[in-house]
Each structure stands twice: as C-alpha cells, then as structure tokens.
Amino acid sequence: MSAVNVTNVTVLDNPSMFLNPFQFEISYECFMPLKEDLEWKLIYVGSAEDEKYDQVLESVLVGPVNVGNYRFVFQADPPEPDKIPDEDIIGVTVLLLTCSYMGQEFIRVGYYVSNEYIDEHLREEPPAKVLIDRVQRNILADKPRVTKFPIVFNLPPTASGPQNSESSEPESMLWTPDAPVSMN
C-alpha cells in the first residue's frame, strides 16, 4: 500500500485567459508520517516537437506531512509566451501536474489544453503575430490522464538517492473527477 493517495484535483478558473495564473485545488490523504516534504510541479508543454520548450511553471514543497487528509490550492504563473514557438501557442498542448517524494515522482496528472482566440474573427483569420492578450485557454479538466509510479516512501538512511520498488512500470489510467485516484 502506498503512503499517499491523491483523492481529487479540481481545476479552478477554467476556462481562463492565457495570461492568467493556473489554479488547482488538490486533495490527498497520507497513511503514514513522511520524513520529507512532497514536491508538486506544474509543467507546460510548449511544443510537441521539442521538450526544450517545456516550462516548469511552479514547484512547491508541501509539508510536514503526517497521517491525515490534506487540501490546498496550487497556483502557478502562466507560461512565458516568448519561450513558445509562435506556431505552437494556438491549438492543443499538454499541462502536467506531478508530485514527487525524495526525488521520486509517484503521480503525474496530464491535461490537454486548448488555446484559441476569444474573438471569432481572429479564429477565422489569425494574425501573423499571436495577440496573446486575446487568447483563452481551456483545460480539458474532465478527462485527465493519471499515471502512477511505484516508489519507496521512507528510504532507509543507508539508501543513496531515489529508488523504485520492485515494479518500475507506471500504471496509467483515465481519471474522472468523481472517481478518486488510489495509490494502492
């Protein structure tokens, strides 16, 4: 059994303008006290062609984590448009919310994000240069892709660095907001 069970992730302020911060309400439960903090990250995929355009929008440590239920709002600045190829700003991309413990990622929640102009005229006849203040993002919050990775939660003091448990194969599944994600 895993030490942490993410029970719900709710996307707040969605749809929203491209330049607005991202906000997620994250709920999880912990079944044993953890020696270290949990690290949550939000990553924006800037281009499907090259990961050098990916941007880590925010990384926060949450702790101490004892036995119990937890809920917090995770907020991150939007991606920097000048670090995304112009041809990849409008259209569909991916947003990744991850959680790690002691350098070991144990859950990744992926969302498709659709970016388009709010003005129908601009959608039909897009300008040569993207007008970022007229772009709206819509996170497809009802169809996240959840991938869980087995990890060792409280490594013995003699262990060096992150290690995975017996099976290193990730378990991938679709997660609907009404169905909790079990880390078992």
pLDDT of residue 156: 58
For 95-150, write each residue's pLDDT tens digit. 999 999 999 999 999 999 999 999 999 999 999 999 999 999 999 999 899 999 99
- The total number of structural domains in the chain stands at 1
> Residue 137 falls within a domain, yes or no?
yes
Higher pLDDT, 154 or 106: 106
pLDDT of residue 2: 82
Distance CA 96, CA 173 (A): 15
> Residue 174 falls within a domain, yes or no?
no
Percent of the chain with pLDDT over 90: 79
pLDDT of residue 52: 95
Distance CA 154, CA 143 (A): 32
> Residue 82 falls within a domain, yes or no?
yes
With a cut of 50, say whether residue 173 has pLDDT above it.
Answer: no
Are 45 and 93 within 8 A, CB to CB?
A: yes
CA 170 vs. chain centroid, Å, equals: 16
Gyration radius (Cα) of the chain, Å: 18
> Residue 15 falls within a domain, yes or no?
yes
Distance CA 14, CA 55 (A): 20
With a cut of 50, say whether residue 163 has pLDDT above it.
Answer: no
> Residue 141 falls within a domain, yes or no?
yes
Are 39 and 59 within 8 A, CB to CB?
A: yes
Q: What is the CATH number of the domain that holds 95?
A: 2.60.40.1490
* Tokens matching residue 127: 């300008």
> Residue 175 falls within a domain, yes or no?
no
Domain that holds residue 26: 4-149
Distance CA 17, CA 123 (A): 15
> Residue 165 falls within a domain, yes or no?
no
* Tokens matching residue 12: 């707040």
> Residue 184 falls within a domain, yes or no?
no
The predicted model gives 38-46 an average pLDDT of: 97
